A and B are shown apart, each in its own frame.
Chain A
Amino acid sequence: MNEHTKSIASLTDRLPNQHKKLLSVYITFCVFLIAELIMDPLILKSYSRMWPLSLQFAPLMLCAMSQGCIMLVGGINLSLGASLSLATTIAAVTMFEGAGGTVGGIVATLVSGMAIGLVMGTVVTFGRLPDIIVTLAFSYIWNGAALLVLSKPGGHIPSAYSGFLQSQGVVPFAIIMILLLLVFWKIIKNTRLGINIYAIGGNAKASFESGIHVRLTKILAYIISGLFMSGAALVLVGQTGCGDPTIGNAYGTKSIAAAILGGFSFSGGIGQMKGAVLGAFIYIAIENVLFFSGFSSFYQYIIQGAILIAAIGLKVVSYYRRGGEGA
């Protein structure tokens, strides 16, 4: 081993363990951050471009966090898109003009998000059914429920609320919201619940035998996931000004891709919330860079898919080469 690799090895050894695990995500993030800045130089010229951009990135970031939460306990949530649509319709029918009406609507949306998580988590754990089947089934239920609440785009979002989300302050509200939720997660992660979530994702049987309440932990993970999802719905309704029973559909698969890009693993127990946020950034930055590059949209799909495979594939390769200890 020569001097150069030695110095890099000592550099990576000095990094805190959790950052080391995310190093690949950091590098991809930096590359796409630079690419995004080159392709959309307006960001550097005008700070006000931050607001539409934050609204563009925030819903997927929150969805990736929501998806990440389920992936940590070894599951996958195929109903995320449908439940997101449902949450936007709930927000649009529960919000009313005035501070009280707006806050009431926000609370109602967050509570329904958590209720959605509670219902699915309960069925998964007590029904002893695989997450993939249960969430697939629930995607139909949430879809139907969304159409029952609003059969077509509509409802009412107070203009003061969307104005607040889009108003130009010091830092976009959507970014503050994500930071707050990251802090919230950080606190949870260091409690017994957080440790249990990582533990049951890693090995549910061993966790059970060592006295962890596996079922309760899993249900709580689903509830937290629902909370993140409803946060995404609140950003979306602020951006669109209405509830839409189909708007969430695209987020289902995107959230899985973003979580994987951000370092989560299908096998559970691996991944960090800040990785999910970065993964979502990378995912949308790929789309944006391709948009600004002016390629025909059909080529954009092909290139986008190729980049996703490259980025995720290399991460997986590095994971197996290290004998599967942490990605």
Chain B
Amino acid sequence: MRKITRKWFGSMMAVCLAASSLAACGGSSGGAASTTAAQAETTTAAQAATTAAESKAEEEPKSDSKEGGYKIGWSTIYLTPSWMQETSGLMDACIEKYKADGVISEYSIANADGDTSAQISQIENMIAEGYDAIILDAGSSDALNQVVEKATSQGVVVVNFDSLVTTDKVTCRIGTSDAEYGRLCAQWLVDTLGGKGNIIVFSGPAGVAVSDGRESGAMEILEQNPDINIITTLHSEYNSAPAMEVLNPVLDANEVDGICALGGSLASASLTAVLDKGLDMIPICGENYNGFLRQWSDLVDDGFESFAVCQPNWLGVLAVEQSIRILNGEDYDQDVVVPIPAIDNNNLSEFVPNDYSDDWYPIADITEDQIQKYLTPGA
């Protein structure tokens, strides 16, 4: 018994040690100031030192940059998909610029990894930590409303972009219109076909806000063109393999003049299906998914025409810019709807070839003028 107890106690101590060593490691880097804060302080201190050397005013810039720096957090539902990685990179560059100027003292990212209730907790933690602004890419249109309302009622600026919440108490929402996405695609297809032909509308899963919005936008345009005959409206998840499965039988059974694909993977699958069956090139609209742009670019000489809309990655940059404007007390619009950038046969060569992987979303950088235009109230 005694021997057993000693071994058992030893194991317990090991658990305790492992755990406390972690706590100690966390404690030393965290505690009063977190790692990012410490880093930010070093940067601002170095920055202050340079400015001090230049202006020869010893103390002032140092205290200024420390006092005035905003603490900004980004709460995102995902961080690993390539679209998010790209967005995160653009935001980092923007944040670095403001950190160097001493406008932002601290920036951190909380990744909920698809778990909405974890995202709620992370936002709660950010409120408790005294963040000045929270940038939000929401995991649920409704479930985050309460915590967002709580944040804004406590004076935290919440700037929401890309995937939006429905509460009116959010400080600002920056996004694109799903209906506009559908209208742009449908209008291009109608124009390319000269207002006449048999088409397939290929939409994302039914019952999902994004795909429903895109589809209703596309239908709006298609219904205005009586000579456009919609063979059928297909639904598939945004993934190539299941998309091919639902599309193949329809392609086999009908003469198709064009496909109104409302998503990058749907477009990519449509094009592959048309190529596999050895059909004539028909116009297919899509998204700025690099794999699709490459296929398209290779087929330009065969007469393939397409049109790719983009959910701009720089929406995140706009969110950072907007948070700082709001924290500085400038005027702003609560809802900012950004026009959707598009790629067609004329400007395709500006985007491909490129060195990025197939799952990248090539897009033109946002300019200072665009930022001004989108964020100035009443624009």
Contacts and interface: CB of A to CB of B under 8 A. Distances in A.
Chain B interface bracket (under 10, 10 to 19, 20 to 34, 35 or more): 35 or more
A242 to B, nearest CB: 4
Q: Is the interface of B mostly helix, strand, loop or mixed?
A: helix
A249 to B, nearest CB: 7
B266 to A, nearest CB: 20
B34 interface: yes
Interface in B192-213: 207-209
Interface stretch (A24-32, A101-109, A181-189, A200-208): A24-32
Nearest to A31: B19
Contact of A32 (B5, B14, B19): B19
A152 B18 contact: no
Given A236-B117, A288-B125, A297-B110, A322 B19 contact: no
Contacts of A40: 125, 128
A212 interface: no
Given A240-B144, A241-B142, A295-B35, A5 B9 contact: yes
A247 B117 contact: yes
A240 B20 contact: no
Chain A interface bracket (under 10, 10 to 19, 20 to 34, 35 or more): 35 or more
Q: Is the interface of A mostly helix, strand, loop or mixed?
A: helix
Contacts of B124: 52-53, 55-56
Interface in A218-260: 236, 239-242, 244, 246-247, 249-251
Nearest to B138: A153
A49 B23 contact: no
Contacts, number: 182
B19 A307 contact: yes
B18 A307 contact: yes
A298 B80 CA distance: 9
Given A294-B30, A294-B37, A297-B111, A12 B9 contact: yes
B2 A9 contact: yes
Contacts of A244: 116, 140, 142-143
Contact of B117 (A49, A59, A293): A59
A323 B117 CA distance: 40
B246 interface: no
Nearest to A29: B19
B206 to A, nearest CB: 8
A318 B10 CA distance: 9
Given A23-B12, A244-B140, A293-B30, A42 B108 contact: no
Given A34-B23, A239-B146, A247-B143, A27 B18 contact: no
Contacts of A310: 15, 18-19
A154 interface: yes
Contact of B145 (A23, A59, A242, A297): A242
B121 A289 contact: no
Contacts of B6: 1, 5, 9
A292 B125 contact: yes
A24 B12 contact: yes
Contacts of B142: 152-154, 240-242, 244
Interface in A263-295: 284, 287-295
Nearest to A88: B143
Interface in B26-72: 26-27, 29-31, 34-37
Given A310-B15, A318-B7, 7 more contacts: A40-B128, A56-B120, A239-B146, A241-B146, A297-B109, A307-B19, A318-B8
26 contacts: A5-B6, A6-B2, A8-B5, A9-B5, A13-B5, A23-B12, A28-B15, A31-B16, A31-B20, A32-B19, A39-B30, A40-B125, A42-B129, A152-B208, A239-B146, A240-B143, A244-B116, A244-B143, A249-B114, A249-B115, A290-B26, A297-B109, A307-B18, A310-B19, A321-B7, A322-B8
The 10 A-B residue pairs whose C-beta atoms are closest, nearest first, are A294-B34, A250-B115, A35-B23, A151-B207, A318-B11, A240-B143, A153-B142, A294-B35, A297-B111, A242-B142
